[in-house]
Amino acid sequence: MVSRLGAICWLACLVVFPPSLVAAEIVSTLGDQDEMAVTIYNDDLALVRDRRQVTLPQGEVSLALREVSARIRPETALLRSLSHPRDVTVFEQNFDFDLLTPGKLLEKYVGRDVQLVRTHPQTGVDQAETARVLAAGDGVVLKVGDRIETGLPGRLVFPDVPSHLRDRPTLVVDLASDRAAKQQLEVSYLTGGLGWQADYVAGLSGDEKTLDLSGWVTLTNQSGTTYRNARLQLVAGDVNRVRDELFLQRGTVMEQAMPKAAPAMAEESLFEYHLYTLSRPTTLKENQTKQVALLAATGVPLRKEYRLAGGSHYYQGRYAELGEKLKVAVFVEFDNKKATSLGLPLPKGVVRVYKQDRAGQPQFIGEDRIDHTPENETVRLKLGEAFDVTANRRQTDFRKLGGDSRYNYRFETAFEVVLKNAKDEAVTVTVAEPVPGDWKVLSASHPHRKGAANAVVWEIPVPARGEATLAYRVEVNY
């Protein structure tokens, strides 16, 4: 028995199409389309507004709108007449997603007769026999005369195509028109398969004091149709949705350095979200990923931070060495303000950062993901771990001061953190220690500040090719 795929390839050699799929049906194709608008949201959701010029006869008719999205949510579809809205009444609508393929055609003919055509190997003459399709699952089973056959060479000839098989996703609307006239019809619907995300490219200056930022929108179309010359809008924000049978499908995002972007999108507030509108129509082809410019800013002031973060667990017991050559994280941050050449709502996405080497070639130095960032907020990126800045941490003292349960323990503990800098310039390392319970610093070699209810923070200068030692003692009450 041959596989289903092999049987389909073998059998699908000749299909006879009927003159019309559905009697008294008007078919509308992309040739009737005069306007297209697509609004894409963050979470695999888009609103499509498709306007077409269609001549309707008077009376009842079935209108087949071809090339709609294959991932349309049919319960959201709405057809209306823009030219004569009171003349058109919609009775019923059906989404035909059972597409015409050799396999589907064969399945629809189970229990029906087809012609089995085989070519004589010596004479080359075609010989036809009537065969009944018994099965089309894991392989094809045919009844030819009084025998059952599978895996036969040759081809099948079908008398027609079932009316409910379409070659493209089709929305069929049963309607009545009060007049025979050309109508401008608009069908709007929600669909999956269209997605977008923001991608940012940042270039650091040589002194790492400023950056140039380019923002791009990465669009992915896996909806099963093409949107030609569409007015494109993007909604940034977390829109609430009722989760049902929809399955999310993510497109591939290009992860490469992109050229400098020119501002190409107008931005406005929409309810509690932000709406971005592309300045010119664009075509979203089926199974395509494309980038369009979102924003561009130059000379954005930048701050760089070396940060060593501790752990809360080692304030509750005795430890020896807590780590040698500990990694020190590297962060950069900038303000999203008009005064810093930005001041735009930034959609969530990935920021990829580059810096030129001595030969002037840009080199990738790290990336991080940002959430939706409104104006006047700070963008903070973790780019990696420092190679030349390390730390050694050890506990130098631990005493239990009192308590007989985990709810009233009192501890006193001391630590030493040695910061080493192998760079040719001095750096400042932020040491952030998450201290549990009620705490107070009894003594410290450097001034500290309270970063949060459970965090004590030090800013430690470390000389070039040198080291600095932070020593401190803390009392913790549970």
Domains of the chain are 1-38+49-191 (no CATH), 194-301 (no CATH), 303-332+381-477 (2.60.40)
87-108 burial string, b = 16+ CB within 10 Å, else e?
Answer: ebeeeebebbbeebebbbbbbb
**Inter-residue contact 437 to 476 (CB < 8 Å):** yes
pLDDT, position 455:
94
Q: Give the dihedral of Cα atoms 362, 364, 370, 374; nearest 10 deg.
A: -10
- Mean pLDDT estimate for the chain: 87
CA dihedral 437, 442, 446, 449 (to 10 degrees): 40
**Is the per-residue pLDDT at 128 higher than 70?**
yes
**Would you state the pLDDT for residue 244?**
56
Cβ contact 97:169 at 8 Å: yes
Question: Which 3 state secondary structure label does DSSP give 9?
Answer: helix
Alpha carbons within 13 angstroms on the beta-carbon side of residue 234 total 29
Give residue 404's pLDDT.
79
Q: Tell me the C-alpha distance between 69 and 165, whole Å.
A: 16
| CB environment 145-178: b (16+ within 10 A), e (fewer) | eeeeeeebebbbbbeebbeebbebbbbbbebebe
- The pLDDT tens digits for 268-303 are 888 888 899 998 899 999 999 998 999 999 999 999
Give 442's pLDDT tier (boundaries 50, 70, 90).
Answer: very high
Count how many residues are written for the chain: 478
Q: What is the pLDDT of residue 39?
A: 97
Q: What is the pLDDT of residue 258?
A: 43
Contact 145, 198 (CB under 8 A): no
Alpha-carbon span 112 to 157, nearest angstrom: 12
Question: 15-19, 217-221, 253-257, 276-280 — which one is most confidently predicted on average?
Answer: 217-221
pLDDT at 103 over 60: yes
Spatial distance between the Cα atoms of 41 and 294, rounded to a whole number of angstroms: 15
pLDDT band at 100 (very low <50, low <70, confident <90, very high): confident
- The percent of residues in the chain predicted with pLDDT above 70, rounded, is 90
Structure tokens that stand for 329 in this block: 């994280």
Residue 104: which H helix or E strand, with range? helix 102-108
Which of the listed ranges 51-60, 114-123, 252-261, 401-410 does the model predict with the highest average pLDDT? 51-60
pLDDT of residue 407: 74
114 has pLDDT over 50:
yes
Out of 139-153, 207-221, 369-383, least confident range: 139-153
Q: pLDDT, tens digit, for every residue of 240-257?
A: 877 654 433 333 333 334
Report the pLDDT averaged over residues 194-222. 94
Determine the Cα–Cα distance for residues 103 and 12; give it in Å rounded to an integer. 8
Whether residue 35 is predicted with pLDDT greater than 70 in this model: the reply is: yes
Quote the tokens at residue 99: 């597409």
Assign 200 a pLDDT band (cuts: 50, 70, 90): very high
| Confidence check: pLDDT of 350 > 60 | yes
Per 3-state DSSP, the chain is made up of helix, strand and coil in percentages (nearest 5) of 5, 55, 35
- Residue 252 has a pLDDT of 33
Q: Token digits for 334?
A: 């900038």
Q: What is the mean pLDDT of residues 77-85?
A: 94
Residue 378, exposed/middle/buried by CB under 10 A (0-12, 13-18, 19+)?
exposed
DSSP per position, 154-181: SEEEES---TT-BSS-EEEEEEEESS-E
**pLDDT-derived band at 267, boundaries 50, 70, 90:** confident
Instruction: Judge whether 214 and 362 are in contact, CB under 8 Å.
Output: no
Q: Is 360 buried (19+), middle (13-18) or exposed (0-12) by CB count in 10 A? A: exposed
User: What's the token pair of residue 277?
Assistant: 């509108």
How much is the pTM? 0.72
CA dist., res. 174 & res. 158, Å (int):
29
